[in-house]
Amino acid sequence: MDEELREAARDHLIRYGQGDIDKLYVSSTGTTVTDDEGREILDFTSGQMCATLGHSHPAIVKAIQMGAGNAIHLFSGMIPEAVARLGQKLAEWLPKPLTRSLFVNTGSESNEAALRMAKMVTGGYEVIALGGSWHGVTGQAASASFASERRGYGPKVPGVSVIPEPYSYRCPIGHCRDNCDMSCMKVGMKMFDMASEGAPAAIIAEPILSAGGVLVPPEGYFKKLKSEAEKRGMMLIFDEAQTAFGRIGHKFAATQLGVTPDIMSVSKTLGGGLPLAAMITSDKIEEAAHEKGYAYYTSHVSDPLPALAGLAVLETVEEENLIERAREMGGYLREALETLLQKYEAIGEIRGQGLLMGIDLVKDRESREPHLELGLMTTKRCMELGLSMNIKHRPERGAVWRIAPPLTVSKAELDKGVEILDQALRESLDELARNPG
Q: Which of 206, 228, 286, 303 is catalytic?
A: 206
Q: Which stretch binds ligand PMP (CB under 6 A): 219-227, 237-245, 246-254, 429-437?
A: 237-245
Q: How far is CA 73 from CA 80, 82, 304, 314, in A?
A: 9, 11, 6, 21
Q: How far is the CB of 211 from ligand PMP (least distance, A)?
A: 6
Under rule CB under 6 A, residue 239 binds ligand PMP = yes
Cβ within 8 Å of residue 132, ≥6 positions away:
146, 147, 165, 167, 209, 211, 212, 213, 215, 397
Under rule CB under 6 A, residue 43 binds ligand PMP = no
Residue number, 242 or 282, with CB nearest to ligand PMP:
242
| Residue 278 near residue 314, CB atoms below 8 Å | no
334 catalytic? Reply is no
Interacting positions 265-284 with ligand PMP (CB under 6 A): 267
Residue number, 241 or 399, with CB nearest to ligand PMP:
241
Q: How far is the CB of 107 from ligand PMP (least distance, A)?
A: 2
Q: Which of 170, 226, 247, 402 is catalytic?
A: 402
134 catalytic? Reply is yes
| Residue 260 near residue 96, CB atoms below 8 Å | yes
Q: Which stretch binds ligand PMP (CB under 6 A): 18-26, 104-112, 151-159, 179-187?
A: 104-112
| Residue 407 near residue 53, CB atoms below 8 Å | yes
Q: How far is CA 173 from CA 163, 181, 392, in A?
A: 10, 12, 21
165 catalytic? Reply is no
Q: Where are the beta strands (DSSP E) in 312-386?
A: 347-353, 356-361
Binding ligand PMP by CB under 6 A: which of 44, 125, 134, 401? 134
Q: Which of 268, 327, 381, 392 is catalytic?
A: 268
284 catalytic? Reply is no
Amino acid identity of residue 362, one-letter, is: V
By the 10 Å C-beta count (0-12 exposed, 13-18 middle, 19+ buried), 61 is classed as middle
Q: How far is the CB of 428 from ligand PMP (least distance, A)?
A: 26
Assign residue 94 a region: left if phi > 0, alpha if psi is -120 to 50, beta otherwise?
A: beta
Under rule CB under 6 A, residue 136 binds ligand PMP = yes
Under rule CB under 6 A, residue 143 binds ligand PMP = no
User: What is the number of the residue whose Cβ is closest to ligand PMP?
Assistant: 107
Under rule CB under 6 A, residue 242 binds ligand PMP = yes
Cβ within 8 Å of residue 234, ≥6 positions away:
118, 122, 124, 126, 128, 200, 201, 202, 203
Residue number, 140 or 210, with CB nearest to ligand PMP:
210
427 catalytic? Reply is no
Q: Which stretch binds ligand PMP (CB under 6 A): 107-115, 123-131, 167-175, 404-412?
A: 107-115
363 catalytic? Reply is no
Under rule CB under 6 A, residue 207 binds ligand PMP = no
For residue 294, the number of C-alpha atoms closer than 13 Å in the C-beta half-sphere is 20
Catalytic residues: 134, 206, 239, 242, 268, 402
